[in-house]
Amino acid sequence: MKIWLLEEGERTGPHESYEVRDRIEAGDLAASTQAWYEGAPDWVRLDEVPVVEGLFRTRDSLESSGALATPISEEEVMEEQIALEYIYPPKLHLVRRFFARLFDLMLYMTLLIIVIRDPVILDPAQRDVMFHLMMGLGYVLIDAGMTNLWKCSPGKWLLGIRVVDSQGLAIGLGSSVMRSLRVWVLGWGMWIITPVSLAISWFMAKRLNYMVWDFPKRYRVVAEPLTAMRITLVVLAYLMLAVLMQYGFPPEVMEMLENQMQNPAP
């Protein structure tokens, strides 16, 4: 993670996180130093930067107990950060994440229908297990690739959120695939038991202070301020997606959708 600092009224940086750590341990930087890092909505105190906040808490606790006799290693700081995350968990942004993921799924299914042009995609009773799994795997791989490359997907970009690891960096490709797979299976129930899976995931998030797919490695969601302009952009994007469905779907697909709306399943 790269960090910018305000020192003696001047902006300096970018500094690598390990350089900032070294200066903190040497006593050159105070907790009140103003800092900014990629993804932060505004300038914050240095002890509020995720990658170094545990260093200040650890030193403060040791100083108050009179136990600070030797420098703190980076491994010790990381262990302390993980432990402190139970006390200072990241914000979940559940509603924003839901609508971001919903937009991604709708966009994926819309493009899939336009390309394949087969109404069987919309009817789980007609498609076989392998076809269903291949649809899900395609979504998982695309979502993982975008998370690894850009830390976000179209839906997340629209709603101003990004997914990063515990250090604020992009998640590796392999880890992104595993995370997206967990989202598809645990969060959306493989598109089979979606309402049940969403309810369980929501309940577990309230208990863990993390979504279940983020909890093992403490992945975080960084969110920008939700402005009126951004909300307008999201509404327009959903409307454009509806127009794309209206004019891009083949007639037989539109007929199936109309029948499903007029005669919903009991």
CB 113 within 8 A of CB 121: yes
Q: In this structure, how many other beta carbons lie within 10 angstroms of the beta carbon of residue 120?
A: 15
Q: Most distant CA pair in the chain: distance in Å?
A: 76
Q: What is the pLDDT of residues 113-147, one digit of tens each?
A: 787 776 666 665 666 778 778 888 999 999 999 99
Q: Do residues 158 and 187 both lie within one domain?
A: yes
Give 192-222 pLDDT, tens digit per residue.
Answer: 888 898 899 888 888 888 888 988 888 888 8
Instruction: Give 10-68 pLDDT, tens digit per residue.
Output: 888 888 777 787 788 777 888 888 888 877 878 888 888 877 776 776 555 544 544 44
What's the pLDDT tens digit per position in 146-162? 999 999 999 999 998 88
84, 117, 141 - which closes a domain: 84
Residues 166 and 137 in one domain: yes
CATH code of the domain covering residue 44: 3.30.1490
Residue 89 within a domain: no
Residue 236 has pLDDT above 50, yes or no: yes
Q: What is the mean pLDDT of the chain?
A: 78
* Structural domain total, the chain: 2
Q: Which residues contact 85 (CB under 8 A, 6 or more apart)?
A: 209, 218
In the structure, what pLDDT confidence band is assigned to residue 239 with cuts at 50, 70 and 90?
very high
Q: Are residues 183 and 244 in the same domain?
A: yes
Contact assessment for residue 205 and residue 212, using Cβ atoms and an 8 Å cutoff: yes
> Does one domain contain both 175 and 227?
yes
What is the distance between the alpha carbons of residues 136 and 134, in angstroms, rounded to a whole number? 5
Residue 222 C-beta-side C-alpha neighbours within 13 Å: 21
Q: Are residues 43 and 136 in the same domain?
A: no
Q: Residue count of the chain, please give it.
A: 266
Range of the domain at 133: 94-262
What proportion of the chain, given as a percentage, has pLDDT over 70? 76
